[in-house]
Amino acid sequence: MIPRLDLQQQINPTYFSFLDSLASSGFRGDIERSYGSRLAMATDNSVYQCLPQAVVFPRSTQDLVVMLSLAGKDAYRDIRFAPRGGGTGTNGQSLNDNIVVDLSRHMHQLLKVDADGRKVRVQTGMVKDRLNQLVAPYKLFFSPDLSTSNRATIGGMINTDASGQGSLVYGKTSDHVLGVTAVLVDGSIIETGPVSGEALDAKLAEDSREGELYRCVHDSVTGHADEIERRFPKLNRFLTGYDLKHVYDKERHCLDLTRLLCGSEGSLAFITEAWLDLTPIPACRTLVNVKYDSFQSALRNAPLMVEAEALSVETVDSRVLNLAREDIVWHSVSDLIQDVPGKVMDGLNMVEYADQDPQAQQQKVSALCARLDGLIERGEAGVIGYQVCDDLASLNRIYGMRKKAVGLLGNTKGRKKPVAFVEDTAVPPEHLADYINEFRALLDEHGLQYGMFGHVDAGVLHVRPALDMTDPEQEVMLRKISDRVNALTAKYGGLMWGEHGKGYRSEYSPTFFGEILFTELRRIKSAFDPFNRLNPGKICTPLDSLEQLVSVDATKRGFFDRQIPVNVRDGFTQAMDCNGNGLCFDFDVRSPMCPSMKLTADRRHSPKGRAGLVREWLRQLSAQGFDPLAEEAAVMSRGSSVKSLVERVKSTWQKHRGEYDFSHEVKEAMDGCLACKACSSQCPIKVDVPTFRARFLQMYHQRYQRPPKDYLVSWVESYSPWMAKAPRLVNPLIKHKWVQAGARSVLGMVDMPLVSEPSLQTLLADSPAGQFDLVRLQGMNEEEKARTVLIVQDPFTSFYDAQVVYDLVRLATALGLNPVVLPFRPNGKPAHVKGFLRRFAAMAADSAQFLNQLARLNIPLVGVDPSLVLCYRDEYAKVLGQARGDFEVLLPQEWLLQVIDKLAQKPLAGEPWYLFAHCTEKTAKPATHQDWSRIFAHLGARLEPVSVGCCGMAGTYGHESQHVEGSKTLYGLSWQEPLARLPQQRCLATGFSCRSQVKRMEGQGIKHPVQALLSLLA
């Protein structure tokens, strides 16, 4: 039995008292001090780990004023803060050991749109892609781009001066920030923007805090103009630190503090609101994907593209290309980047053109294509082919692949994982190829694996060498390589932090800026934050401070991970391998990625949060000498004993009395998971929460008693067949208000579904499909077998939505086949979801044996519900290994694609149908939409996929009273609107859960696609 785990690293008493005072000071935001919440903010995408004292989530600028004013009291002078947005930094920019102030949860409103003036005012917790979604109707967009655009916030972008693809034309974030509202450390608010001429003179003369800031900055830049000119590299990228070069324009006698705050990494002020300048969405965009025989060829050829007036040139190497090929993302781009017959594609340049004038655009593209044709014909420059695409959807698919590239690099086998520490260097583009040669030689000298890609037009290279950060020697190597790369970038006139900011690399600042300018940075820090209270350690310290800057050698995640024994780490790779890139924070309600994160805006309830909690749980168990793998093996082989029951009752009683156990914090995060499995395929590392969640729950409930609903859910496959036999008796009971009330209060279940009336058994009573006879099937000749299809039942569709199974039988019959419905065999998925793994293993073994026997008949097996069919493929393989055998249960569309061609193709006619595919299915099987569309098209109907996230039901999640509100909210986030807009009778859902949710929310259900197909054949 797992031991109880004590609270680690208690909050410092001064911080504790501050948080108490804050709660009663009119602060309206959330204050979180649980160890789990603190852990969720202890990492970003870097190698570092740093536990904050607490996390607060302000709701407004005023909340920050309240918080900082309180911190101004003598008793709280030691309290410090670190601003945070999406937490996607690659170098620990937002990590600190004080109070993390996260603006992303509540401060994400679009405040004003001035479409004519092409500008918007936003709260800085807004995610960049969300902003672009909101301003798209005005044909405008916020143009600085970054790979993390679906989760990085405007505040984070401003503070790291983010930029990315297209930066030569679209610039950096600082080029598009017109002014900000900033809250200073004393709680005062300043509004920034360009101040020039007499207004500036007046500001400089002002006897105020603001006047003091203006004077300090003005003196610094005017006093050191030559040194600034000499030191600041002539690059398209800005270095984070304080932008002495652009803060003051001597010609116009204009000073704009905005430029100073951009790239200040939260070390000067909290930025709560910003005016952003928008760019018209280009009327036409074209992408030329140029294929090369090597990465070097792609790099050396890039200047030609820039010369050819391209908007941007992005390059990826063969390693990144190959990783993309193995990922779900390749499915979306394979037709746009096809292989060149007889050639090996080892490098790719994605060259974009964008213009308002289609003719000008066409001319530029044609000119490039003509040059490329010449190179290919002459076999020059390593160009082996190219493809052009100019529809927005295709462009987005290619950039989606490119944006996923960093994450994909993390998905390598073995203990060495690509890590970010020298990943965003920038050198003048003309030196890039030579610089990369030296960089590669350095990495090769250390025997390191790496993949490379970058914005070659701007000289920015992304590379993450693979290191095992649990090995202390590799940590030493990280330091060595950091130093060498820092020197190498200097040699080529570049920057080590060309894109993502400094964070823990701040220790290189003094050398980089030189003593004179670094002293000026410190002077500015002193003026804004004299006592080093804002993100201390980053960028620089105040002038009089003796405190140190953070260092590359700071405590890393590897330090904690290595405390877990190697075999345990290897046994829990699904949680260990999360690299924190934050893709699972995707804000878009139409994406299936992590519904629980979208619902709660609580990072603990994301795959990253859950993986982090499990890692810490394993670490704490290991510290107590407890071996979770041995425990798991024991639980799988032993039953429950009286002794263990007594101990369980005792621990449960202590839990109810409020005794702390870190396992409860992990359990809380696991409870919010819908087990939708989106993470297991959408996360670039394939962090599979449902798998480690089930394992955790099994161990947790050895110590703590389960709630009754767990038994109700996990036994659903045992009692449902019995209930389904007597719907007239059972349904009135289920509907009875006392039974409903009892289910809610005793079992914690609501809206229990009614069993099907008529039952499947009744529907099939006179049908040969209901007559399963194994001996008869075994005696069939090949021709008879070819005309037969076996339908595998699942507990939900068969007993609660029997008409769908019956309609599948009718569809097969209409296709001229002989369907046979197999006797029901429990699948085990509900038991798996609740962590009854021992029982799941037994059920899986039994079902697998049955299905293998049938598979030997060589007749297709088809199951209706995606999540149960996919369970045969995934969870069965994990629990049974080789013993799973090789039976295959097809999804309806997979089977239909095999048989549909036998029918004559019909011409397209009539109104379209709309497909709402099940999350588990469309994430695990990216071809889902295309497959169904092909089948419908063959039968003369159009099927349009609808982009939706999770419906909120996810098995029994939506029936649990603790989740019912969340379930309905999730439905409202993405399903409600399209269902209201589209004709409901033409909407189709593949999942039983989804159909039940629609029925519950709309009062009327929607069909399964097989039912629509049946109507097409009628």
Ligand X SMILES: Cc1cc2nc3c(=O)[nH]c(=O)nc-3n(C[C@H](O)[C@H](O)[C@H](O)COP(=O)(O)OP(=O)(O)OC[C@H]3O[C@@H](n4cnc5c(N)ncnc54)[C@H](O)[C@@H]3O)c2cc1C
Region of 156-164, 302-310, 755-763, 900-908 interacting with ligand X (CB under 6 A): 156-164
Region of 15-23, 391-399, 590-598, 967-975 interacting with ligand SF4 (CB under 6 A): 590-598
Q: How far is CA 443 from the centre of its chain?
A: 29
Considering the complex, what minimum distance in angstroms separates the CB of residue 314 from ligand SF4? 21
**Cα–Cα nearest to 417, from 469, 473, 477:** 469
Considering the complex, what minimum distance in angstroms separates the CB of residue 41 from ligand X? 9
Tracing tokens 């509900």 back to the chain, one arrives at 830
Considering the complex, what minimum distance in angstroms separates the CB of residue 567 from ligand SF4? 22
- Residue in 596, 691, 893, 967 binding ligand SF4, rule: CB under 6 A: 596
Considering the complex, what minimum distance in angstroms separates the CB of residue 596 from ligand SF4? 4
Task: Please count the residues of the chain.
Answer: 1018
**Cα–Cα nearest to 550, from 563, 531, 532:** 532
Work out whether 271 is an interface residue with ligand X (CB under 6 A): yes
Tell me which DSSP letter residue 184 carries. Answer: -
- Residue in 84, 505, 648, 677 binding ligand SF4, rule: CB under 6 A: 677
> Per-residue string for binding with ligand X, 548-587, x by CB under 6 A?
---------------------------------x------
Binding partner of residue 163 among ligand X, ligand SF4, none, CB under 5 to 8 Å per kind?
A: ligand X
Kindly state the number of chain residues that form the binding site for ligand SF4, as judged by CB under 6 A: 26
Considering the complex, what minimum distance in angstroms separates the CB of residue 112 from ligand X? 18
Considering the complex, what minimum distance in angstroms separates the CB of residue 147 from ligand SF4? 12
Binding partner of residue 673 among ligand SF4, ligand X, none, CB under 5 to 8 Å per kind?
A: ligand SF4
Neighbour order of strands in the sheet with 943-945: 943-945, 913-916, 987-989
Work out whether 690 is an interface residue with ligand SF4 (CB under 6 A): yes
Q: Name residue 99's amino acid.
A: I
502-541 positions binding ligand X, by CB under 6 A: 535
Work out whether 163 is an interface residue with ligand X (CB under 6 A): yes
Region of 21-29, 532-540, 573-581, 979-987 interacting with ligand SF4 (CB under 6 A): 573-581
Considering the complex, what minimum distance in angstroms separates the CB of residue 406 from ligand SF4? 10
Q: Which two tokens stand for residue 21?
A: 């005072």
What does the alpha-carbon distance between residue 538 and residue 558 come to, in Å, rounded to a whole number? 21
Work out whether 501 is an interface residue with ligand X (CB under 6 A): yes
Work out whether 82 is an interface residue with ligand X (CB under 6 A): yes
Backbone angles phi, psi at 835, to 5 degrees: 80, 20
DSSP assignment string, 588-623: -TTS-S-HHHHHH--GGGSHHHHHHHHHHHHHHHHH
In the complex with ligand SF4, the residue whose CB is nearer, 675 or 964, is 675
Q: Which residue is nearest to ligand X (CB)?
A: 156
What does the alpha-carbon distance between residue 861 and residue 744 come to, in Å, rounded to a whole number? 38
Considering the complex, what minimum distance in angstroms separates the CB of residue 952 from ligand X? 27
What does the alpha-carbon distance between residue 604 and residue 579 come to, in Å, rounded to a whole number? 15
In the complex with ligand X, the residue whose CB is nearer, 153 or 297, is 153
Tracing tokens 């025997």 back to the chain, one arrives at 447
Distances (CA, A) of 1002 to 488, 953, 960: 63, 14, 19
Binding partner of residue 406 among ligand X, ligand SF4, none, CB under 5 to 8 Å per kind?
A: ligand X
Work out whether 64 is an interface residue with ligand X (CB under 6 A): no
In the complex with ligand X, the residue whose CB is nearer, 93 or 591, is 93
Considering the complex, what minimum distance in angstroms separates the CB of residue 992 from ligand X? 36
Q: Are 672 and 600 in contact (CB under 8 A)?
A: yes
Torsion of CA 905, 906, 907, 910, to 10 degrees: -140
Work out whether 147 is an interface residue with ligand X (CB under 6 A): yes
84-113 positions binding ligand X, by CB under 6 A: 84-90, 93-94, 103
Tell me which DSSP letter residue 136 carries. Answer: G
Residue 189: helix, strand or coil by DSSP? Answer: strand
DSSP assignment string, 933-969: HHHHHHTT--EEE------S-TTTGGGBTTTHHHHHH
Neighbour order of strands in the sheet with 99-102: 30-32, 54-57, 99-102, 81-84
- Residue in 96, 581, 620, 714 binding ligand SF4, rule: CB under 6 A: 581
In the complex with ligand SF4, the residue whose CB is nearer, 413 or 737, is 413
Region of 144-152, 429-437, 566-574, 737-745 interacting with ligand X (CB under 6 A): 144-152
**Alpha-carbon radius of gyration of the chain:** 30
In the complex with ligand X, the residue whose CB is nearer, 27 or 270, is 270
Binding partner of residue 415 among ligand X, ligand SF4, none, CB under 5 to 8 Å per kind?
A: none
What does the alpha-carbon distance between residue 861 and residue 882 come to, in Å, rounded to a whole number? 20
Q: Are 693 and 594 in contact (CB under 8 A)?
A: no
394-433 positions binding ligand X, by CB under 6 A: 406-407
- Residue in 43, 61, 143, 148 binding ligand X, rule: CB under 6 A: 148
Considering the complex, what minimum distance in angstroms separates the CB of residue 924 from ligand SF4? 12
Work out whether 153 is an interface residue with ligand X (CB under 6 A): yes
CA atoms within 13 Å, Cβ hemisphere of 292: 22
- Residue in 83, 241, 451, 690 binding ligand X, rule: CB under 6 A: 83
Q: Are 221 and 507 in contact (CB under 8 A)?
A: no
In the complex with ligand SF4, the residue whose CB is nearer, 533 or 603, is 603
Which helix (H) or strand (E) is 287 found in, with range?
A: strand 284-292
Work out whether 582 is an interface residue with ligand SF4 (CB under 6 A): yes
Q: Are strands 818-821 and 788-792 parallel, antiparallel or unpaired?
A: parallel
Backbone angles phi, psi at 870, to 5 degrees: -70, -20
Residue 444 buriedness (CB in 10 A; 0-12 / 13-18 / 19+): exposed
Binding partner of residue 164 among ligand SF4, ligand X, none, CB under 5 to 8 Å per kind?
A: ligand X
Work out whether 152 is an interface residue with ligand X (CB under 6 A): yes
In the complex with ligand X, the residue whose CB is nearer, 388 or 549, is 549
- Residue in 37, 61, 98, 159 binding ligand X, rule: CB under 6 A: 159
In the complex with ligand X, the residue whose CB is nearer, 83 or 672, is 83
What does the alpha-carbon distance between residue 270 and residue 61 come to, in Å, rounded to a whole number? 9
Binding partner of residue 1005 among ligand X, ligand SF4, none, CB under 5 to 8 Å per kind?
A: none
What does the alpha-carbon distance between residue 715 and residue 461 come to, in Å, rounded to a whole number? 54
In the complex with ligand SF4, the residue whose CB is nearer, 257 or 673, is 673
- Residue in 58, 164, 672, 753 binding ligand X, rule: CB under 6 A: 164
109-138 positions binding ligand X, by CB under 6 A: 124
Q: Are strands 54-57 and 99-102 parallel, antiparallel or unpaired?
A: parallel
Q: Which two tokens stand for residue 551?
A: 């260092």
Binding partner of residue 584 among ligand X, ligand SF4, none, CB under 5 to 8 Å per kind?
A: ligand SF4
Considering the complex, what minimum distance in angstroms separates the CB of residue 95 from ligand SF4? 15
DSSP assignment string, 470-526: TSHHHHHHHHHHHHHHHHHHHHTT-BSBSSS--GGGGGGHHHHHHHHHHHHHHHHHH
Triad 736, 740, 745: Cα angle to 5°: 150
Kindly state the number of chain residues that form the binding site for ligand X, as judged by CB under 6 A: 39
Which helix (H) or strand (E) is 220 found in, with range?
A: helix 209-223
Q: Are 590 and 922 in contact (CB under 8 A)?
A: no
Residue 761: helix, strand or coil by DSSP? Answer: helix
Region of 79-87, 523-531, 777-785, 922-930 interacting with ligand X (CB under 6 A): 79-87
What does the alpha-carbon distance between residue 765 and residue 592 come to, in Å, rounded to a whole number? 39
Applying CB under 6 A, the residues found at the interface with ligand X are 44-45, 82-90, 93-94, 103, 124, 146-148, 152-153, 155-157, 159-160, 162-164, 265-266, 270-271, 406-407, 499-501, 535, 581
Applying CB under 6 A, the residues found at the interface with ligand SF4 are 578-584, 594-596, 607-608, 610-611, 673-679, 683, 685, 687, 689-690
